[in-house]
Structure 1
């Protein structure tokens, strides 16, 4: 490694000069008691301040769940008629049962989307003038975990500029809440924070805190902020590391919270932007077309018994502190331990206590990004799968509202649906195999005069298949129709022909990817049931491809299964092969599809043709343009590419500020021996130059030095073997 003063980048020397303000404001603590899932009394629920009529919500629920029940009943009856041409066997009854479970899932999704479609058709556009005053203070908090500072700090700075442009910026403070465990990323965050403060001045009110241990992960990160500094703020607006929100959106959320004394959480609907790989553009287009229909339907029937998605939402801080202290689940992971999908549970606990949780589905200006490839999505999905299946331990908690339990059931079923569809597919194959190869039983025990031979009604089966596909695709069709009806959105998406072509491309590719995702999610469910914990890895947020060897390793068994399924189906019956052909084709193409999904060139080629284009892509939001500009500028600083320990070695003022920002708990207690610290200390003792120790230290040993002022002092005392650093000294 070539060491020189140039490697530590601009704005590091003298970053802290003249800036002695603490990295965090004085603490103003709130108690956050751990809530019980087994004990609750109705007397603990607060009474609403405003008495609101709920008949519209009840009618919407009757439409969604009553309609879903009717559709499921009809589908089940038709499936029974399909298989009951002759005496019904055990396998046929099992097929009916699996079909009923799967069909009920898509039936409710259909009626909810239909409700959202009607609501959007009748909706008047525009939300009125922007509020001119606010009375409360809001903390805008961004939890980060081993993220690129060029991206996260650019997003937060762009949000700050947008909020300031509303004229109400004095009501908002900004917090970077770091749970970072990578030593280089930790120092990069501190350097970016100090440089940001220097550029914007003290009036910007930016703060930074690094937590020594990421106890309870993101939920623990937010809880730590609430308990230590939450008393300063009536509200907090929670972001993700890939979030963007306009100042207008943030001000409207804050004003809505101030105007509603019963609101505990108000959720916005984030749209996906800034995506360029093929897979990410598919998600971006689908979310833009179908997302508003689904979200509006949910918003109408959920009413004030809504849900929380963990980011791009405003929260009443004291209510959160009083009611959202999460308990650990008994037992070991994956079903025990701390709660992974904490947002659902936090919303459930606030709702139990009488606070309203709802979504403003038509509020513009809330954005996020998506995983760039199929493999990246599956890695994130594995963690979400474990978190949602954990909710089987929470759904029966005392005092929860019935709609809250339904939210948990929906989240659980969203992952169990994959193994259920897989089982239905297997039973269908077994039935065809039984019909084709197994001899009928001519002399049954009940002495019937005809053999027991499973048969099907092909005409009813075809009609039922068409009904199922229609219900499954309906939300996509509703979204496409809305975009075609709204002239400005249609034109911004490339015109009517391109919108239709883009929808067809999205439907076809999604259909091919569906069997791959089915197997991936089924595998995740089986692994969790076998007791395998997922852990918590940082997400890839860049537009980049994955090495082909990793793709082959990940999807080789999907391809083999597709090949075996195709050969077996063709040998059993041509009709079975044709019925299974979409699934077979998707699995056979798993490797090239996954490779293609992460390709930037494929996504950009469709972009040049005007396909899979969204209105936000045609006219990018000003905040997204500004965030991209700031990210390019931040990348030139090089903070994410430089050695953290070398930066501290070269810059005494940065080192001084780093020590000041250390948590008091980071300082080692006398007599405590930590393995990583002991190894780091031993290597410091053996080293003659800074180059020696930088080459020898492992990441955990670097962290041990970074959080120990005494070891930092020993590091600085080392000589350098390069003339550039000697000259700098």
Structure 2
């Protein structure tokens, strides 16, 4: 049974409570700076992170200058040094933030902020936007959450909204059946509503805005979920209490941990998120302070602040840079902060979860849309009135995708320099007067020192995260003990070495596609552990294999030393089809679990959020 598009079935939506949501002007802003009460510690944290990044980048670039030791500076040398400085700055920034997070967590997890009494949390809407998702999975999650809220005695403070942008009639019919089942399961303690839009204007951002303008006036706060989100009742209530206790807060973001997937690729991502993620998040929270960011889900938002400040405009020009804002979450956070509301993160909050793409191909599909959305922020980062930290967040998103083509350009420039040095005749006596010949120099010892510095900056966060995990008895035991931790970190490092060059080329292609004006479209994500066949992986990665062979041949032609330097990258690219196929196998993930590799505590002892309700088959129960 397909439900009518954008028509209210009896009882499927509440009475209208409209809230005006004006479209924001990015070119004009008449308000002045609006402080939100950051502490002195936040300022010191920012000084450390940015100061350490600049110092490391300057030192690394100086060492690179010594390695190439140019006599007559060429354009290629300038490009090589420039690409190196940008890529090194990117990893130095991540390293400095991780070191800060280590210092924070070494003193123990920060305390949660003040919380209002439960009676004071007001009315809250749990929003689940869906687009061609599996209804059984989505509604089972909502059933777990709703049942947990009912057991906690707080169901009266929450309503659930399923906001559908589904285009496929068969899925829409299943959504309706699942909605009827869920409403029977949770009412009358907790109200469940369902709305399907006729036109998915502005995608997810438009879906949320549609809720705000129709029913936002009835709710103090809204907790936004994704189709793969799950949250414990305790986490939801804590977010609501923290928001109610802080009248200046506009968004409070939790740290969603990855779980629930069984492919080798997903298990590696889950382990990395569980062990490295809290370290990174603690550093981010320390220097973000109350000028933080929003990741689009598993967060609570003050509804009136969102309506007042976060109406997204259409960007001028053609797609992919023009049109509606794709990566809306960063922009919404920036606009809410511009209006004088705080945006904070609670990385210490337990009970927030999401799922990771099960394979490299699925990650690439999601990344294509994210790449376009983040590069679109080039048109937004200069918007009037934004706090400088909001601009930093937008630049981070942009750089997260530009880093790959910059790395590629660095490799190509390095190969170009080596090729020129191999075939060009040195000019020992330049036109300028000199008593002695000017010998071109390449110091291999300095090159090895620079390589060691780069590896240290790149892998220090992993070492620090391992130390913290080792000190945490619960995390250590949940990851298979000390032996399991060491095996998992080693396996994750090897996996990253194999996958990083492939992602470099994938993301570089995405950036070039966006620059050429190619739109990403909007496709539903694969959320099942479905392995791709080997021949499909071979077809997808054929160009990566060719690129790996090309790197190897050119480097060997230049010198055996250059070949040895590029062997890890070339080999990873040539192995891309095998890596993508094998890592996407659920059987490999289960085998790794039995080998005590990539285990996480949420599987060793399930937290309540993952075992609160054993949901019955939805469509059978709804009949």
- Give the TM-score category using the shorter length: over 0.9
Unmatched 5+ residue regions in structure 1? 1-7, 13-19, 640-650, 652-729
Match of 1:26 in 2: 15
| Aligned equivalents of 1:335, 1:453: Cα separation in 2 | 48
Among residues 473, 484, 494, which one is paired with 1:508 in the alignment?
A: 494
Partner of 2:617: 633
Using the TM superposition, give the Cα deviation of residue 497 of structure 1 relative to its aligned residue in structure 2, in angstroms.
Answer: 1.1
Q: How does 1:207-606 map to 2 (within 5 A)?
A: 207-441=193-427, 444-446=430-432, 454-606=440-592
Distance 1:634 1:439 in 2: 75
SS of 2:133's partner is: coil
Task: Out of 221-230 and 460-469, give the one that drifted further.
Answer: 460-469
Alpha carbons of 1:93 and 1:449: their partners in 2 closer, same or farther (altered >3 Å)? farther
Paired position in structure 2 for 1:15: none
Rounded to whole Å, the distance in 2 between the matches of 1:345 and 1:503 is: 34
Report the 3-state secondary structure (helix = DSSP H, G, I; strand = E; otherwise coil) of the residue aligned with 1:544.
coil
Correspondences of 1:100-249 after superposition (within 5 Å): 100-124=85-109, 132-249=118-235
> What is the 5 A alignment of 1:72-111?
72-84=57-69, 86-111=71-96
Q: 1:196 and 1:70 mapped to 2: Cα distance?
A: 56
Contact 1:440–1:452 (8 Å) recurs in 2: no
Q: Pick closer, same or farther for the CA change 1:566–1:26 going to 2, 3 Å.
A: same
Q: Residues of 2 paired with 1:21 and 1:89: CA distance?
A: 73
Deviation at 1:547, TM superposition (A): 2.8
Q: Separation in 2 of the partners of 1:443 and 1:199?
A: 87
Would the alpha carbon gap of residues 437 and 135 (structure 1) be closer, same or farther in structure 2, given more than 3 Å must change? Answer: closer
Question: Contact conserved, 1:140 with 1:173, CA < 8 A, in 2?
Answer: yes
1:267 to 1:53, Cα distance in 2 relative to 1, 3 A: closer
Unaligned runs of 5+ in 2: 3-8
Q: Displacement of 1:598 after TM fit?
A: 0.9
Q: Which residue of 2 aligns with 1:35?
A: 24
Change (3 A) 1:573 1:253: same
1:129-172 Cα deviation digits (max 9, x unpaired): 99553340100000000000110000011011111222211100
In 2, the alpha carbon distance for the partners of 1:449 and 1:555 equals 55
Contact 1:88–1:454 at 8 Å: present in 2 too? no
* CA distance in structure 2 between the aligned counterparts of 1:129 and 1:172, rounded to whole angstroms: 17
SS at match of 2:198: coil
The 3 A distance-change label for structure 1 pair 636 and 612 is farther
Distance 1:510 1:294, change over 3 A: same
Query: Cα 1:422–1:46, aligned 2, differ >3 Å: closer, same or farther?
Result: closer
Find out whether 1:62 has 2:51 as its counterpart: no
CA distance in 1, matches of 2:440, 2:536: 44
- Secondary structure of the corresponding residue to residue 140 of structure 1: strand
User: What TM-score, normalized to structure 2?
Assistant: 0.95
Q: Per-residue deviation at 1:89?
A: 3.1
Distance 1:598 1:225 in 2: 37
1:575-629 CA-partner distances (Å, limit 9, x unpaired): 11111111011101000001012100001100112211011121122222346x3
CA distance in structure 2 between the partners assigned to 1:232 and 1:136 by the alignment: 10
Distance in 2 between residues matched to 1:135 and 1:478, nearest whole Å: 38
CA distance in 1, matches of 2:156, 2:310: 28
Contact 2:263 2:590 in 1 (8 A): yes
Per-residue deviation, residues 437-475 of structure 1 (Å, max 9, x unmatched): 222235644466777774311111111111111111111
User: Does the CA contact (< 8 Å) of 2:23 and 2:311 recur in 1?
Assistant: yes
Task: Tell me if the contact between 2:150 and 2:190 (Cα under 8 Å) persists in the aligned partners.
Answer: no
Q: Is the 8 A contact 1:267 1:314 kept in 2?
A: yes
1:200 and 1:289 map into 2 onto residues whose CA distance is 36
Residue 6 of structure 2: aligned partner: none
TM-superposition CA deviations, 1:226-271 (whole Å, max 9, x none): 0000001000000000000000000000000000000000000000
Q: C-alpha separation between the residues in 2 aligned to 1:96 and 1:311? A: 39
User: In the aligned structure 2, how far is the partner of 1:635 from the partner of 1:81?
Assistant: 68
Q: CA RMSD in A?
A: 2.0
Are the aligned partners of 2:319 and 2:517 in contact in 1 as well (CA < 8 Å)? Answer: yes
Deviates more, 1:609-618 or 1:499-508: 609-618
Secondary structure of the corresponding residue to residue 343 of structure 2: strand
Residues 78, 443 of structure 1: CA spacing in aligned structure 2 closer, same or farther, 3 A cutoff? closer
The count of corresponding residues between Structure 1 and Structure 2 is 616
Q: Which residue of 2 aligns with 1:716?
A: none
Determine helix, strand or coil for the equivalent of 2:312: coil
Shift of 1:42: 2.3
CA-to-aligned-CA distance 1:374-404 (integer Å, 9 cap, x gap): 0000010010000000000000000000000
